[in-house]
């Protein structure tokens, strides 16, 4: 059995996610940000980190892998894009509904 080191980028993402969750718990304990808002904020921060990684070279690496027939193939990526698009619009609608409900005092 070989012991593989965690890549630095993966470690940094995991650490940031853990710190975000810790901050959310601390804020809730102090009466600050509710856990639900902290969870949503964490998802948005994760998405932001992914966008940064894609801009930082992951996009080109993934495209090369797909061109070589690796990483699940082009059809798999197409399905992932469609799924993400649907879910992101659903999330957007849900968050807008929360905002509207808060504005109306619900």
Domain boundaries, the chain: 8-71, 72-106
Q: Which pLDDT does position 16 carry in this prediction?
A: 80
Q: Which pLDDT does position 94 carry in this prediction?
A: 93
Report whether 27 contacts 38 (CB < 8 A): yes
Residues of the chain with pLDDT under 50: 1
Q: Which pLDDT does position 1 carry in this prediction?
A: 46
Q: Which pLDDT does position 27 carry in this prediction?
A: 63
Residue among 18, 17, 81, 12 nearest 44 (CA): 17
Q: Which pLDDT does position 35 carry in this prediction?
A: 77
End-to-end alpha carbon distance in the chain? 56
Q: Which pLDDT does position 29 carry in this prediction?
A: 62
Q: How far apart are CA 28 and CA 22, in angstroms?
A: 10
- Give the pair of three-digit tokens for residue 39: 């969870």
- Give the pair of three-digit tokens for residue 75: 């059809």
pTM of the model: 0.59
């Amino acid at each position: 059995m070989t012991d593989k080191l965690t890549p630095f980028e993966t470690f940094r993402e995991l650490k940031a996610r853990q710190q975000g969750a810790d901050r959310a718990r601390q804020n809730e304990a102090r009466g600050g940000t509710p856990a639900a808002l902290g969870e949503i904020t964490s998802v948005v921060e994760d998405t932001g980190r992914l966008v940064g990684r894609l801009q930082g070279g992951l996009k080109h690496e993934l495209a090369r892998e797909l061109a070589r027939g690796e990483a699940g193939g082009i059809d798999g990526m197409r399905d992932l894009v469609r799924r993400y698009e649907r879910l992101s619009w659903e999330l957007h609608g849900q968050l807008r509904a929360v905002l509207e409900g808060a504005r109306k005092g619900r």
